[in-house]
Amino acid sequence: MHECAKADFRNFSAFRAFTLSCFRAIQKQDNSKETSKSENMKKRLIILSGAGMSAESGISTFRDSGGLWDKYPIEQVATPEAWRANPALVLEFYNIRRKELLGVKPNAGHFGLAEMEKDFEVQIITQNVDNLHEQVGSTKVLHLHGELMKVRSVGNETDIIELNAQRPEIFIGDVCEKGFQLRPHIVWFGEAVPLIEEAARLTQTADIFVVIGTSLNVYPAAGLLGYVPKSVPIYLIDPNEVAVGCSGIHFIKKGASEGVKNLRNVLMC
């Protein structure tokens, strides 16, 4: 029996007060249902972000001339062979990269994507190892190639430790609780990408798919385009020409900050 039917009302005032409280409770439930329904109706916006997303923040890419990668060739610091040959050099390189990250801030593109969570269900799949998406409040970020501010045990890849501004470096001799050396929590060239299947699954759920700041030359990440449902619009934000092997893509030839702003205007029309 409903509470309204069981109440013992001894005067009109009590009846009126109780009726009003019932009405407010029902109204609150209806509003809650409407909010939940509205959230469930949000379109799923899947973002694939690459190095160009963070370049505006001052993070150098391995294609930049005169940058960090010129001093440290990929084969010497970002492969399993490099780790076996000279782990100290590898650690030195990633220590420098962490210090670089601590000295930069997210750009307007990062903020723009976080802001879009108000109107869309945003899932970011990033090739970047920085944490700039998280710094501005993006809630769903999948890092395909690992995370710069994390390290893991060479004896157990699930034993992951997060570093911070107070401790941004690791060296030979820094070990996990079980005594194994710590290494960068990075997917190096030549290693499998553990989260690529999850990324492909997420891509298949897209209502809108957006590529930002990537040349689409690095596989398997570039192959995610093949998982976008045929009816789903694809937007590509990059100031440079990007060769894409499929038609129907909407190009926004801008950097990340201006491009995300333009994208929002287009999607909100």
**Are 251 and 221 within one domain?**
yes
Q: What angle do CA 75, 92, 218 make, to 5 degrees?
A: 35
Residue 229 lies in a domain: yes
Tell the residue number behind the tokens 């990408």, with chain if given.
Answer: 193
Do residue 208 and residue 246 come from a single domain?
yes
Structure tokens at 153: 């045990």
55 and 115 in a common domain: yes
**Sheet holding 182-186: strands in order across?**
160-162, 146-153, 182-186
The CATH number assigned to the domain holding 120 equals 3.40.50.1220
Tokens 């070990």 label which residue? 175
Main-chain dihedrals φ then ψ at residue 122, nearest 5 degrees: -95, 125
Summarised one tens digit per residue, pLDDT across range 159-196 is 999 999 999 999 999 999 999 999 999 999 999 999 99
User: Percent of the chain beyond pLDDT 90?
Assistant: 72
Whole-model pTM?
0.83
Domain end residue (candidates: 160, 186, 212): 186
Tell whether 263 is covered by a domain: yes
Question: For the segment 68-106, what is each residue's pLDDT rounded down to a tens digit?
Answer: 667 788 999 999 999 999 999 999 999 999 999 999 999
- Could you give the C-alpha distances from 121 to 91, 134, 192, in angstroms and in order? 37, 16, 29
Cα separation, 47 vs 53, whole angstroms: 11
Residues 92 and 224 in one domain: no
Backbone φ and ψ of 268, nearest 5°: -90, 0
In the residue annotation, 145 being an active-site residue is answered as yes
The residue out of 136, 160, 186 marking a domain boundary is 186
Query: Across residues 35-45, what is the average pLDDT?
Result: 69
* CATH number for 65: 3.30.1600.10
- 198 and 256 share a domain? yes
Question: Which residues on adjacent β-strands are paired with residue 248?
Answer: none
Same domain for 268 and 213? yes
What's the average model confidence in pLDDT over 3-14? 42
If asked whether residues 99 and 213 sit together in one domain, one would say: no
Residue 33 has pLDDT above 90, yes or no: no
Residues 260 and 227 in one domain: yes
117 in a structural domain? yes
Would 33 be classed as within a structural domain?
no
Q: What is the pLDDT of residue 267?
A: 96
Number of domain units in the chain = 2
Provide the mean pLDDT of the chain: 87
The dihedral through the CA atoms of 247, 262, 241, 145 has a sign that is negative
Do 261 and 204 reside in the same domain of the chain? Answer: yes
- Same domain? 181 vs 268: no
pLDDT, tens only, 116-147: 999 999 999 999 999 999 999 999 999 999 99
Q: Quote the pLDDT of residue 55.
A: 92
Domain assignment present for 205: yes
Pair 92, 208 in one domain:
no
Enclosing domain of residue 96 = 60-103+151-186
Specify the pLDDT at position 151: 98
Residue 1 included in any domain: no
Band (62; pLDDT cuts 50, 70, 90): low
| Per annotation, catalytic residue among 110, 133, 143, 145 | 145
Closest CA to 208 of 241, 239, 233, 183: 233
Residue 121 lies in a domain: yes
pLDDT computed for residue 1 by the predictor: 38
> Can you give the pLDDT at residue 65?
54
Residue 130 in domain: yes
Any alpha helices (H) in 103-193, and if so which ranges?
108-115, 132-135
Residues 225 and 139 in one domain: yes
Position 40 scores a pLDDT of 63
